[in-house]
Structure 1
């Protein structure tokens, strides 16, 4: 069956004309998405440095993730429609430059904690713009090149590669380089400038169209709308809720046992979490079948297991168990993200893909508030109990999605008989 997205994209003469040039030029866009992902996640291992050097609390550093989401969500919601109107290339270049500015502002955190919040807010805006326009661009390039099924996976791998490499490099520089609060951010600034040059050579898939409205409805078919709201949206907060617990919450639970290796530990854990999200792709491909709940069931089962291991790690204060938990949670993150992006490619048309992707990712990034919420509630409940409670929420989400999908399938079968 041909998806709404593929049908709409293939009908555009200006897009078909670039097919011969597309085979490998999606890589430049992937580097751009990875560069912004680097800037978004390079902050994760530095949290422990700011806590020890600047004396900020766990709740304060957790709040920086909430501020990041506050910038990211409007960036997502505007980035997609604006790229529909102005073209993917122009908007993606803007996001890269804004991402570089965010790193430059974070350098000022040594002067005052307020710059952490300002820098993270700007980084959120850049990420929102890049992840909505960039992922849509990657999917469109993949379809035109005859690799429709690779679009969601390329977007996931590009984003997750940046999420993985950025914190590793930043953590190593923070641990061993002079002036760590400055030097840790310099590689990202250089990478964004390289990405700008690469993006300038990538084929445009959405020519500027001043008639495109920034704010408009999603224009989903009724069955697609039901599936989007009932099956896809509920899993969205688990994408980054899962990864943010692994990156920003669990490593801090064993900081006192790490001594001088805390930054390296956090950097390695962050990288392993994101690598797990990439390496789980073969499993995701095996279970991926748009229109079914196979992959989302697998994803939420993995998330549940990861939370249980995390609860055990918290109870034992074991760095080894923390590493195991973050790897499992990284796999869950990867499966959740592939599921969401694959579903969007089937549900959306070329005219609204960026907007639907932006909405999904906006909901997904609300998960970044999870470490802050856990840091607040841990004064009331033991940390292992909190993580078990999160595992229970994952199971409840899974049951809800399975029941909803069965209801949608029954409704569809009834409609077909009429």
Structure 2
């Protein structure tokens, strides 16, 4: 099976370069986050309430979840390229629909749903495509870096354009044009045939009993070690760029500049730290996941200080730490997934991983619901307790890592 995987990578590398689909992740990530730096602007200029502005951001999940749920298995069966093209197309539709937000709030919600569809398909199709055409563990690092870069670029561009023109529609139009141009270019990209993805050399097949033990152990590794850390991947990103600005000011009063810088710092740090931690990314150890959760806990404790003081300086520090946690956890979690998944279920498990990651994207909406009822510090404290519980679970599940898997996997 290992030789088949090597053959797959060699075949794929002959057909295309990894950065061609990688830029698709940047473009869909740009679309996904171009709204988030404008949350306070919409509250001030378009008179959305804090809850409405956060709900628009969270409506993204209505497109994201089905794309991750069904897109993964479909990409495993029919190939990566068709769904990569669909991801770009939905991102274009997302920006065009967001432009309709000038006339009706329904355009904002529809745009975010299309955006979620595009990002969800990109995460399963493009991430697995990059993995298949990259050597060894490089695929996880490349996919994570492109995703984080898109998340950082989007709010920076939209914030700069809206700050100078007061027109989010112009920012959305810039993204739509850039993505449509790349979509046309990707029509010429080559991909290995889906049948190649499903080939298994019978000569390399392990005994059925051994395969069953390995499959059971991998599933426990996935559900008990990887998934408990997953919500904090984008949970820390979302709190870093959406909750922190809300903690430093009264509802809807955070400035566009501070909101934009907060998003850029959070996601920029998430992207910048990934090449630095590459040397520590050992899928046979639990250390990087625990470090990521520890950094996440530190970020939440800083947010607790912000909730009590309203300090913008401490808020910026909290965003930096939250971005670092996002980058570490994204690389560590995605590396585990891509290591334990075979070519036939790569998209499916990647989709399930990201579905759990995006649980954290609901944190800002939950915060907006919480704020009128109780002090924000209590909400942040509850998140910190949950994060500490995730650390305990990940540590306890370290026995399912490669090299520690017992022959008897039932417990």
TM exceeding 0.5: yes
Mapped to 2, the partners of 1:411 and 1:20 lie a distance apart of: 36
Residue equivalent to 1:189 = 176
Do residues 221 (structure 1) and 215 (structure 2) align?
yes
Mapped to 1, the partners of 2:228 and 2:293 lie a distance apart of: 11
1:77-98: per-residue Cα shift (whole Å, max 9, x none)? 2222222233211210111011
Do residues 205 (structure 1) and 192 (structure 2) align?
yes
SS of alignment partner, residue 342 of structure 1: helix
The 5 Å alignment of 1:228-377 reads 228-255=222-249, 262-377=255-370
Residue equivalent to 1:395 = 388
Specify whether residues 257 and 53 from structure 1 end up closer, same or farther in structure 2 by C-alpha distance, changes over 3 A only.
Answer: closer
Mapped to 2, the partners of 1:130 and 1:257 lie a distance apart of: 33
Deviation at 1:76, TM superposition (A): 1.2
Which sits farther off after the overlay, 342-351 or 112-121? 112-121
TM-score (norm 1): 0.88
Specify whether residues 228 and 110 from structure 1 end up closer, same or farther in structure 2 by C-alpha distance, changes over 3 A only.
Answer: same
Deviation at 1:198, TM superposition (A): 3.9
Mapped to 1, the partners of 2:394 and 2:224 lie a distance apart of: 7
Residue equivalent to 2:94 = 102
Count of residues in Structure 1 that have an aligned counterpart in Structure 2: 396
Residue equivalent to 1:72 = 64
SS of alignment partner, residue 205 of structure 1: coil
Residue equivalent to 2:205 = none
1:117-161: per-residue Cα shift (whole Å, max 9, x none)? 11111111111111110000011110xxxx222111100110111
Residue equivalent to 1:215 = none
Do residues 150 (structure 1) and 138 (structure 2) align?
yes
SS of alignment partner, residue 135 of structure 1: helix
Specify whether residues 206 and 61 from structure 1 end up closer, same or farther in structure 2 by C-alpha distance, changes over 3 A only.
Answer: farther
Mapped to 1, the partners of 2:297 and 2:325 lie a distance apart of: 9
CA contact (8 A) 1:281 1:334 kept: yes
Specify whether residues 141 and 196 from structure 1 end up closer, same or farther in structure 2 by C-alpha distance, changes over 3 A only.
Answer: same
CA contact (8 A) 1:138 1:155 kept: yes
Specify whether residues 300 and 323 from structure 1 end up closer, same or farther in structure 2 by C-alpha distance, changes over 3 A only.
Answer: same
CA contact (8 A) 2:141 2:274 kept: yes
TM-score (norm 2): 0.90
User: Which of 43, 49, 53 is residue 45 of structure 2 equivalent to?
Assistant: 53
Deviation at 1:204, TM superposition (A): 0.7
The 5 Å alignment of 1:109-188 reads 109-142=101-134, 147-177=135-165, 180-188=167-175
Specify whether residues 342 and 26 from structure 1 end up closer, same or farther in structure 2 by C-alpha distance, changes over 3 A only.
Answer: same
Do residues 9 (structure 1) and 1 (structure 2) align?
no
Specify whether residues 313 and 103 from structure 1 end up closer, same or farther in structure 2 by C-alpha distance, changes over 3 A only.
Answer: same
Mapped to 2, the partners of 1:189 and 1:208 lie a distance apart of: 33
Residue equivalent to 1:26 = 18
Deviation at 1:315, TM superposition (A): 1.4
CA contact (8 A) 2:141 2:275 kept: no
The unaligned stretches of length 5 or more in structure 2 are 200-211
CA contact (8 A) 1:240 1:333 kept: yes
Which sits farther off after the overlay, 51-60 or 284-293? 284-293
